[in-house]
Structure 1
Amino acid sequence: MSTAVGTEGATGETAGEACRDTVAETSAAVGTARRRGIADWRPEDEAFWEEAGARIARRNLVFSVLSEHIGFSVWSLWSVLVLFLGPEYHIDAAGKFTLTALPTALGAVLRLPYTFAVAKFGGRNWTVFSALLLLVPTVLAGIVLRPGVSYGTLLAVACLAGVGGGNFASSMANINAFYPQRLKGWALGVNAGGGNLGVPVVQLIGLLVLATAGATWPRLVPLVYLPLIVLAAVGAALKMDNLTSMRNDRRALREVAKEPHSWVMALLYIGTFGSFIGFGFAFGQVLQVQFHQQFDTPVKAAYLTFLGPLLGSLVRPFGGRLADRWGGAKVTLWTFAAMAGGASLVLVASRHDSLPMFLAGFVALFVLSGIGNGSTYKMIPAIFQAKARIAVAAGADAGTAERDSRQRASALIGLAGAIGAFGGVLVNLAFRQSFLAGGSGDAAYGAFLAVYAMCFTVTWAVYLRPGVGPMRGV
């Protein structure tokens, strides 16, 4: 059954009355498991937004955040589980970094198809399916985690946890379609920040299991998530909506792939989100390997592992708000400058074996990457909105230009999200190689510093230097 929000042909009926009728119809449908669809969605129409749009969008945002949050927890599950893998598992530090790199890689690959799945199957439908799919890696992890399991089996099961990483892209593409341009920074920041909180939450659950049941019970961590996954799927089925006006334009991805700004944004997202997810997966291992005397047991590392991801997740909506006010490019520029400072502090702390300075630098990197996550996602729709204004000024139809802007922004969210997530793979591989070759993470910290300096330069050159035209300050 499909409900149309807004009735264009209703003679003598005001827009407000039509919207109120729509809300009533939607409310009546809540609690059913049947397919629902919204045919007419006009978030840029302020009267429509005030009467019906904001309420419906907020409801979808809430349940989108819940599903994405659990997806992030499953995706980062192995950042916790590797802390349980003691000598009886016969896995060295390099092997553990590989276990955390694999789910990061699969999550990155899945982000592109997940983005387009929303328009093809519907945001509500895909959220239900993708949530239920999380049962596969959690159940398998609960079955295989015991001494004597082969390393190959652990690699395969860890890799499957990557399905949780795809949820982010579909969730962001869906929420991007629900909100008007003026609120995208906030909405996408809340959606992403609530999802990112799944990283510290699963680490806190791991800490709780380590502190109570002990390191011999890693299977308890994934089993905690089984009822939560079912809850997220049921909530999405009952409360979310499909926007039937969303369409996958096959040209959109091709056009986005040809657009130079797409690759610039992919690079900037590697620097922000790639840092966040990479550090989130690796931080506990880094503490154990680099400061092994202070963190000689898994529970000691777990006490600090969650702190950085928690703060980085909480500030992500703040990054979106700052970008809404000051422009995404300005916030992104100064975020990268500060991240270069944070990487420098970590490098100095590593060379002087200073744990307090090391923790301060890493927490700063988590916080700054969270702010940068919010500001870069504000830039994506702003870029295509600027292009739509240029097209309209040249004589293009305003409605067509707006629709193309949304389709291309959604396509770039998928592309940049997929490429940016590979930054997390690179972070884990950088740590692996650095510790293998030199016994410390110094080479990795130096590489991060160079990447942030490059991203700062690119942001200024493309979006903030004088003479860049209508893209300046997006």
Structure 2
Amino acid sequence: MTAPSGRWIQQWDPEDETFWNRTGQRIASRNLLFSVLSEHIGFSVWTMWSVLVLFMGPEYGLTPADKFLLTSVVTLVGAVVRVPYTFAVAVFGGRNWTIVSAALLLVPTVAAFAVMEPGTSFTTFLLVGLLAGIGGGNFASSMTNINAFFPLRKKGWALGLNAGGGNIGVPVIQLAALAIIGAGGGPRVLLGIYIPLIVAAAVLSALYMDNLASVRNDTGAASHAARDPHTWIMSFLYIGTFGSFIGYSFAFGQVLQIQFGRTPLQAAYVTFLGPLLGSLIRPVGGWLADRYGGARITLLNFAAMGAATGVLVVASVQRSLTLFTAAFVVLFVLTGLGNGSTYKMIPGIFRAKALARGLAGEPAAAYGRRLSGAAMGLIGAVGALGGVGINLAFRQSYLSHGSGTGAFVAFLVCYALCCAVTWAVYLRRPAARPAGPPAAERERPRLDYAEV
């Protein structure tokens, strides 16, 4: 293992326990730490419009439908850019792209600082919101990069920690907004705080992160992952978990204002709690998946999300603020658990496919790392589109019925479908055959996803 000019590590084998215990774990943990920092700020920049719309009172001239459309556009761009961000790790190296992607966050932050005042046109806000979407891409490149550093037995916890540390950027910027609103400050104060933090993230990434030569120029892995049906099945499941998390993060404060008449300060007191707990619990979801199997945890989690959504329907109809808030916070926690368990499933699925192909040992591990790293970016991109759907569903529900009840019913149906797909694809055992298979087939490992 060497790290020459440009901090490139030429040999990396985390499945070798001797290597891992001697040097691998220390290097992987260091890269994880600074990856979390950059991704954390990326999430804050991506979701800053969920906070900025709370500052935008009647003097801005925006309707509730305008605000939901604005947050939908931001979420959409964040989902789309995850695809090229995934490729970027293979093209430029994980460290190098982390530096670039962190520095790029200055563009939407400075732009928002410049236009955030009454009298700015809605079209201008939409265009600046488009720029903020690039913060969503940091997740895809960060997860793809960190996936390559850790052995399979540690991926659930490591990926959960990486994603959870990034996700927590959502409640952090909401807490910062709460403090600023409470102190009588404006949105430019909030944006001004983040500009030096972005610079610090880029500099620290340059000083302390590494590139892995084993993932460089392997852009073909993404095309292979895109042709695998499990990439798209997991994308659908991730719409249900992460799509819910990011969609609710953007929408929660607006729902409290529109449906329950909360002021910006009253809404801000509550909106940070759900994303905070959902972010903190994500590593636990990964840990539970490591221990009991990601598919089992994911199935139970979707069932619980459906139950929490049913309570939200009741609370929305009865206009019970206490019940609504409590159920929404529980739903946030479940999205975090599901985020951790679904992402643990991805490397397990591709490792199982490698074993079924007759691979073993390091070749099987390398196959799994290669395809799961590429699949994560695609799955993350599609999953984030769920956030777009949630904001558009709320927009239509309020335009048509004046409440969010219709949107919650649609979400309940989605979670039921996610339960069915998880069980049918990853947990349902194949029916026993009346006669034994041919000898050659008996010798081949059976493709079984129940333990992923």
TM-score bucket of the superposed structures, by smaller chain: over 0.9
1:355 to 313, 316, 321: 321
Q: Mark the runs of 5 or more structure 2 residues left unpaired by the alignment.
A: 432-446
Residue 450 of structure 1, CA deviation: 0.3
Q: What are the Cα deviations for residues 7-63 of structure 1, in whole angstroms up to 9, with x where unaligned?
A: xxxxxxxxxxxxxxxxxxx6xx9xxxx611100000000000000000000000000
Work out the percentage of aligned pairs sharing the same amino acid: 61
**SS at 2:95's partner residue?**
helix
Q: Which residue of 1 aligns with 2:130?
A: 159
CA contact (8 A) 1:385 1:405 kept: yes
> Mapping of 1:236-251 within 5 angstroms?
236-251=205-220
Q: 1:425, 1:397 → 2: CA distance? A: 41
Q: Which residue of 2 aligns with 1:102?
A: 73
Residue 255 of structure 1, CA deviation: 2.4
Distance 1:391 1:424, change over 3 A: same
CA contact (8 A) 1:193 1:313 kept: yes
Distance 1:250 1:140, change over 3 A: closer
The answer on 1:457 being equivalent to 2:435 is no
Q: 1:250, 1:288 → 2: CA distance? A: 45
The answer on 1:267 being equivalent to 2:233 is no
Q: Which residue of 1 aligns with 2:309?
A: 343
Distance 1:397 1:303, change over 3 A: closer
Q: 1:41, 1:250 → 2: CA distance? A: 19
Q: What are the Cα deviations for residues 281-318 of structure 1, in whole angstroms up to 9, with x where unaligned?
A: 110000000101xx1x2111111010000000000000
Distance 1:473 1:399, change over 3 A: closer
Q: Partner amino acid for 2:166?
A: G
Residue 473 of structure 1, CA deviation: 3.1
Q: Partner amino acid for 1:268?
A: L
Q: 2:219, 2:101 → 1: CA distance? A: 22
Q: Partner amino acid for 2:46?
A: W
Q: Which residue of 1 aligns with 2:435?
A: none
Q: CA RMSD in A?
A: 1.3
Q: Which residue of 2 aligns with 1:383?
A: 349
TM-score w.r.t. length of structure 2: 0.95
**SS at 2:430's partner residue?**
coil
CA contact (8 A) 1:434 1:441 kept: yes
Q: 1:191, 1:275 → 2: CA distance? A: 19
> Mapping of 1:15-414 within 5 angstroms?
35-214=6-185, 217-292=186-261, 295=262, 297-392=263-358, 396=359, 399-414=362-377
The answer on 1:443 being equivalent to 2:406 is yes
Q: 1:231, 1:256 → 2: CA distance? A: 34
**SS at 1:472's partner residue?**
coil
CA contact (8 A) 1:248 1:407 kept: no
CA contact (8 A) 1:284 1:301 kept: yes
Aligned residues: 437
CA contact (8 A) 2:293 2:450 kept: no
CA contact (8 A) 1:89 1:148 kept: yes
Q: 1:246, 1:49 → 2: CA distance? A: 18
TM-score w.r.t. length of structure 1: 0.90
Q: Partner amino acid for 2:377?
A: G
Residue 262 of structure 1, CA deviation: 1.2
Q: 1:434, 1:473 → 2: CA distance? A: 39
CA contact (8 A) 1:71 1:165 kept: yes
Q: Partner amino acid for 1:386?
A: A
